[in-house]
Amino acid sequence: MTLDDKLDFVQHILTRYILTICFIFGLIGNLLNIIIFCRKHLRKNSCSVYFITTSIFNLLVICLGIIPIVVTSYSSYDYSSHSIIYCKFRGYIIHVLLMISRSSVALACIDRFALCSPNINIRVLNQRRVAIRLIVIACLLWFIIPIHIPVQVNIQMPGRRCGTSGTYSIVYAIYAAVVTTIPLIIMVVFSSLAIHHLKHIRSRVHADMSTPTMNIQSRLRIRKRDAQFTRILISEVIIYFFSTILFPIYSMYTAFTSTISKDANHMAIEGFLRYIAISFLIYVNSSSIFYIHLLASKAFRRECKQLFLQLYKRKQSNNVLIPLAVISNAREQ
Q: Pick the range with the lowest mean pLDDT from 114-123, 205-214, 249-258.
A: 205-214
Domains of the chain: which residue ranges?
Answer: 14-316
| CATH T-level assignment (fold) for domain 14-316 | Rhopdopsin 7-helix transmembrane proteins (1.20.1070)
Q: Percent of the chain, pLDDT > 70?
A: 87
Q: What is the pLDDT of residue 160?
A: 75
Q: Return mean pLDDT, the chain.
A: 84
Q: What is the pLDDT of residue 214?
A: 42
How confident is the model over 182-186, as a mean pLDDT? 93
Q: What is the pLDDT of residue 263?
A: 81
Q: What is the pLDDT of residue 220?
A: 47
How far, CA to CA in Å, does 223 sit from each of 26, 48, 158, 199?
30, 15, 60, 11
Q: What is the pLDDT of residue 96?
A: 96
Q: Pick the range with the lowest mean pLDDT from 58-62, 118-122, 316-320.
A: 316-320
Alpha helices in 116-166 (DSSP H): 120-123, 128-144, 148-152
Burial 191-220 (b: 16+ CB within 10 A, else e): bebbeebbeebeeeeeebeeeeeeeeeeeb
Q: How confident is the model at residue 281 (pLDDT cuts 50, 70, 90)?
A: very high
Q: How confident is the model at residue 156 (pLDDT cuts 50, 70, 90)?
A: confident
The residue with greater pLDDT, 26 or 220, is: 26
What's this model's pTM, rounded to 2 decimal places? 0.86
What is the spatial distance between Cα 19 and Cα 33, in angstroms, rounded to a whole number?
A: 20
How confident is the model over 56-75, as a mean pLDDT? 92
What is the spatial distance between Cα 200 and Cα 189, in angstroms, rounded to a whole number?
A: 17
How confident is the model over 67-89, as a mean pLDDT? 86
pLDDT tens per residue, range 188-219: 999 888 777 667 656 655 555 555 544 444 44
What is the number of residues in the chain? 333
In three-state secondary structure terms, 116 is coil
